[in-house]
Amino acid sequence: MDGTGAVDTCRIDREKIAALDDERVGPRHKAVPPELWGLSVAEVRARRPRLSQLPTPLLTLSRSALDTNLRVMADWCAERGLDLAPHGKTTMAPRLWAEQVDAGAWAITVANPFQLGVALEFGIGRVLVANSVISPLALRWIADELAADRELRVLVWADSPVAVDLMHDALAAHTAAAGSRPPLDVLVERGGAGGRTGARDLETALATAERVAASPHLRLAGVGGYEGALAHDSDTRSRDVVRGYLRDLVEVHERLVADGRYEVEVPVVTAGGSAYFDVVDEVLSPLVAAGARVVLRSGAYVVHDDGFYRHVSPLGEEPRTGGPGFRSAMHGWVRVSSRPEPGLALFDAGKRDLPFDEGLPEVQLRRPRMPGDAPATVAGVQVTALNDQHGFLRWDAHDGGADGADGADRADRADGADRADLRIGDELRLGLSHPCTAMDKWTLVPVVDDADAADPVVVDLVRTWF
């Protein structure tokens, strides 16, 4: 929303989203069993297969959790007068982008020209590229897209006069060769010490803005930044670091307003991953009343997780803001394949299948062994490592958890069970950490109705572009 309170959602090509139902599934989709190969996504959905009919390893999304997270974030932003441009890189799934647009997204955020290409292929009408684009090839292509579609808006970042000069030179040469093109919107990126990109001081940020405004091929449209790289937990100190950085970002914006530098009627001020959007609201939301459009770029919220974001999100397990909480929509499903020694089991998934960069998966439950059984909890067992295609489960074999030296334990192992209550062939549900490195391992992700059910029903398949 801008200072008038108007809601301006993003366009998307509904026909191309609908056409995703026509894709034929096959061996390139590791989530789909051979018996379904050759069917379209719509035909698989109509069959409503059960989870038990799909192979392991597997990543699934929960329909009910997705719906909850979409609604919670949209309502949270609307109540505060903030716009949302969810980061599409989290899922790279245009079907989910469409759901975010339906929930009121002002734009979709991407990280690079490849992701921008996917967004434009599906008709996204407003795209925020949260990065500098200095490749002449990419700049020429963007300029041509803007010329071909005058309603399209692409916003990119710059954090130094050098970057702006490279952009200007590439676009000037292209205009000389191909004719006039609309100016490209640029946001000045403010950074923080120890963070990623972004001008590290006010002087550099203002010099960058001055250089943008001096170019006829560029248009100064706002200020942006990313606070998530400056802290990694939810304690007071981390939030104070984020708060101080956001105040620096506001300082740049206010100087540009005071100096009359902006070349758009409603400048964009954008920040916000999925970890500190409460602090972003605290510091940036007052700018809305002054005529700016404050845009959050949170992306992980739609999937959430059972690890990093469960801990650090303002709407996670320890809420720091009002509103219903997020739910983890993603789960891993694996099968125990080996019990080679006391206190150790291995399962059939690894780094090629599950995220691991923000914490290892956690064992949540064992699927029913027999029809009519309920899912069972698994206590005292931890995932301790992932190889490329294997995961390691360990427990204390001497505390009564499993694998003791007495004859009863040996007898249990002889018929396939022990006190760890894990058998070769058991299927386990895993909680996962970090959606941004989960979806990229799957070209097609089944969506189930209820991940807590004894045998969930597959209600959709989500295609990704990585």
Lowest mean pLDDT among 279-283, 306-310, 399-403, 460-464: 399-403
Whole-prediction pTM: 0.93
Asked if the model's pLDDT at residue 233 lies above 90, the reply is yes
The mean pLDDT value for 460-466 works out to: 98
Task: Write down the residue that tokens 């203002």 correspond to.
Answer: 206
State the pLDDT at residue 1.
62
Give the H/E segment covering residue 141.
helix 136-148
Side-chain-side CA neighbours of 198 within 13 Å: the count stands at: 26
Q: How far apart are CA 344 and CA 392, in angstroms?
A: 7
**Which residue segments constitute the domains of the chain, with CATH numbers given?**
11-68+302-466 (2.40.37.20), 125-298 (3.20.20.10)
Q: 123-147 burial by CB neighbour count: b if 16+ within 10 A, else e?
A: bbbbbbbbbbbbeeebbbbbbebbe
What tokens appear for 94 in the block? Answer: 């245009």
**Closest C-alpha among 455, 371, 375, 464 to residue 48:** 455
Could you read off the pLDDT of 180-230 as tens digits, one per residue? 999 999 999 999 999 999 999 999 999 999 999 999 999 999 999 999 999
For residue range 138-175, what is the model confidence (pLDDT) as tens digits?
Answer: 999 999 999 999 999 999 999 999 999 999 999 999 99
Coil, helix or strand at residue 179: coil
- What is the Cα 270 distance to its own chain's centre? 17
Extract the runs of DSSP E, i.e. beta strands, from 190-323: 218-224, 268-271, 293-296
Which residues neighbour 240 within 8 Å (Cβ) at sequence distance 6 or greater? none
**pLDDT confidence bin for 420, thresholds 50/70/90:** confident
CB-based burial label for 35 (10 Å; 0-12, 13-18, 19+)? exposed
- The whole-number average pLDDT for the span 421-432 is 96
Q: Which of 206, 214, 13, 225 is nearest to 98 (CA)?
A: 13
The SS3 of residue 224 is strand
Closest among 110, 116, 107, 93 to 17, alpha carbons compared = 93
Residue 305, token pair as written in the block: 């997780």
**Cβ-contact 255, 208 below 8 angstroms:** no
pLDDT tens profile 344-359: 999 999 999 999 999 9
Cβ pair 81, 290 in contact under 8 A = no
Confidence of residue 122 (pLDDT cuts 50, 70, 90): very high
Give one DSSP letter per residue of 23-82, joined into a string: PBP-TT-TTS-GGGTT-BHHHHHHH--BGGGS-SSEEEEEHHHHHHHHHHHHHHHHHHT-
What does residue 366 show for φ and ψ, rounded to 5 degrees? -105, 130
Q: What is the pLDDT of residue 398?
A: 72
- The token duo for 398 is 């001497």
Residue 402: what pLDDT? 41
Q: Residue 417 — very low, low, confident or very high, per pLDDT cuts 50/70/90?
A: very low
- Residue 131 has φ and ψ, to the nearest 5°, of -175, 160
Q: How far apart are the first and last CA of the chain?
A: 31
Of 36-50, 88-102, 119-133, 368-382, give the lowest mean pLDDT range.
368-382
